[in-house]
């Protein structure tokens, strides 16, 4: 039997997702790998300093958003999340090359809807120093039975 509203409880902790941030990943994600015309604050130290005053590039917040989406997809299933899911996320601290990002989730609400239940998960990303880098929530409609 797959995931249904009947087997999801408020307070359920999702299995954490751990990601290692590298400059190479940042360059691939932000379009700068092998493309010098795509230099930006996420791919190049001088661009980051010029545009923000930071001494090194930092990851696009969309990378953390992608990690949160992966966490939700692993929980409810990729097909279900692709069709009914959403993420609401706020970026509160830069993720730097070399950081280890852990994504945590906890079910905060299971609300009956016409096609099953809208499951809401509180999500946050945290670096290896224990600092939260992103906070928000994800949701998806799961079948009732």
Provide the residue-wise pLDDT of the chain in tens; the chain has 145 residues: 468 888 899 999 999 999 999 988 888 878 755 665 677 778 887 887 888 888 888 888 889 999 999 999 999 999 999 999 999 999 999 999 999 999 999 999 999 999 899 999 999 999 999 999 999 999 999 998 7
Task: Please say whether the beta carbons of 110 and 119 come within 8 A.
Answer: yes
CB within 8 Å of 13: residues ≥ 6 apart: 104, 105, 106
Task: Please say whether the beta carbons of 116 and 122 come within 8 A.
Answer: no
pLDDT score recorded for residue 57: 83
pLDDT score recorded for residue 58: 82
Give the CA distances from residue 45 to residues 27, 38, 53, 56, 86, in Å, rounded to whole numbers and listed in that order.
12, 13, 10, 4, 33
pTM of the full predicted structure? 0.89
Which residues pair with residue 137 across a beta bridge?
Answer: 88, 122
Domains present along the chain, CATH in parentheses? 5-21+59-142 (3.10.129.10)
């Amino acid at each position: 039997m797959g995931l249904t509203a009947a087997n999801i409880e408020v307070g359920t902790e999702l299995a954490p997702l751990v990601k290692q941030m590298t400059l190479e990943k940042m360059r691939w994600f932000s379009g700068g790998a092998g493309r010098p015309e795509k230099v930006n604050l996420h791919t190049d130290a001088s661009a980051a300093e010029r545009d923000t005053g930071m001494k090194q590039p930092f990851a696009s917040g969309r990378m953390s958003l992608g990690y949160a989406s992966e966490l939700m997809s692993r929980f409810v299933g990729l097909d279900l999340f692709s069709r009914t899911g959403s993420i609401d996320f706020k970026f509160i601290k830069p993720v730097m090359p070399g950081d280890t990002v852990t994504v945590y989730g906890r079910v905060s609400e299971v609300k009956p809807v016409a096609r099953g239940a809208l499951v809401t998960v509180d999500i946050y990303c945290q670096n290896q120093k224990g600092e939260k880098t992103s906070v928000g929530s994800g949701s998806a409609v799961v079948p009732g039975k």
